[in-house]
């Protein structure tokens, strides 16, 4: 299993979507690339993300980027749906240089590359979110989510 960290706005919907994708074996709600190693009541530059464990024999980073683009507005800076702020930025983060190269290639091959606001960066740090955020939409399916409900179930296993 390999890992990437996918940011697509509010992590509740992103986790609900990502966990249904072919080849995804693990998800965990968290925060990536913040300024400190704690979340003492502030996000300190963190992006809400989903730690995503996947089988590269089934799904590639290119595939995961394609799936991400199904649920985000890739031109929006620090906003997805009604959620506004730096923590709602979009991106893919990894400790594996090949993952980052593949994600960047996905972006640069698009005709709209010059308009895309999706980050592709090395993972500098990660913090698991509190238990209340893990699988949130599974437990509370009527909570707000910027992702349309049909997309949340599009790839249900």
Name the H helices within 1-157.
11-18, 61-71, 97-108, 136-139, 149-152
> What are the beta bridge partners of residue 61?
none
Radius of gyration of the chain, Cα coordinates, nearest whole angstrom? 14
- Residue from 4, 7, 10, 50 carrying the catalytic annotation: 10
Q: Is 10 assigned a catalytic role? A: yes
What one-character DSSP code corresponds to residue 29? Answer: E
**What are the backbone angles phi and psi of residue 142, rounded to the nearest 5°?**
-95, 5
**What are the backbone angles phi and psi of residue 77, rounded to the nearest 5°?**
-100, 120
Residues forming the active site:
10
């Amino acid at each position: 299993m390999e890992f990437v960290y996918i940011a697509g706005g509010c992590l509740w919907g992103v986790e609900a979507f990502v966990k249904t994708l072919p080849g995804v074996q693990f998800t965990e709600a968290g925060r990536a690339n913040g300024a400190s190693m704690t979340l003492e009541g502030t996000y300190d530059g963190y992006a809400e993300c989903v730690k995503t464990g996947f089988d590269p024999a089934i799904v590639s980073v290119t595939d995961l980027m394609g799936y991400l683009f199904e649920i985000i507005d890739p031109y929006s800076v620090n906003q997805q749906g009604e959620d506004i702020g730096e923590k709602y930025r979009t991106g893919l983060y990894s400790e594996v240089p090949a993952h980052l190269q593949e994600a960047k290639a996905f972006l640069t091959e698009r005709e709209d590359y010059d308009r895309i606001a999706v980050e592709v960066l090395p993972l500098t740090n990660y913090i698991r979110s509190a238990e209340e955020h893990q699988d949130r939409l599974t437990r509370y399916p009527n909570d707000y989510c910027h992702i349309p409900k049909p997309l949340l179930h599009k790839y249900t296993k």
